[in-house]
Amino acid sequence: MLPGESILSGAPDTCSDCKKRLEPKVMRSPAGYYIGTSCDCGPYSRESDYFKDREAAEKALPLYRVAVAGLIEVVPIPQKRTTDYRPGGLTVEILDDDLNPTGETL
């Protein structure tokens, strides 16, 4: 996400059109479950990455609310990038989301 694209990265917590305060909640899109906000205008922002299921997103929601309140600092975990050279000269950059903070593959 880009700076200012989510509440944690500096976006306003109120919709400029309908003036509704944006409360984080678990939402769903075709890509999966995520923490996001909505207002009277419709879906407003995606505040997190996608979760594997609703239960995982629900577990993360309280921690996200604490982060928005400024009680903890959210630090992204570095992810491993690898380059896969495929036949025919195709190069694919792979972002490994299956790493834990120690860098070991789960």
Q: What is the residue-averaged pLDDT of the chain?
A: 75
Torsion of CA 17, 18, 20, 25, to 10 degrees: -80
β-strand pairing of 80-85 with 91-96: antiparallel
CB proximity list for 61: less than 8 A, separation 6 or greater: 24, 25, 26, 35
Tokens representing residue 41 in the block: 């205008």
Q: Give how far Cα 14 sits from Cα of 10, 18, 66, 97, 99, Å.
A: 12, 8, 18, 32, 35
CA atoms of 51 and 72, how far apart (whole Å):
21
10 or 47: whose pLDDT is higher?
A: 47
Residue 91 confidence (pLDDT) above 60: no
Q: Which of 103, 11, 31, 26 is nearest to 63 (CA)?
A: 26
State the pLDDT at residue 83. 54
Is the per-residue pLDDT at 99 higher than 50? no
Summarize the confidence of residues 6-24 as an average pLDDT: 88
Q: Does the global pTM surpass 0.85?
A: no
How many H helices and E strands in the chain?
1, 5
- 58 compared with 67, residue with greater pLDDT: 58
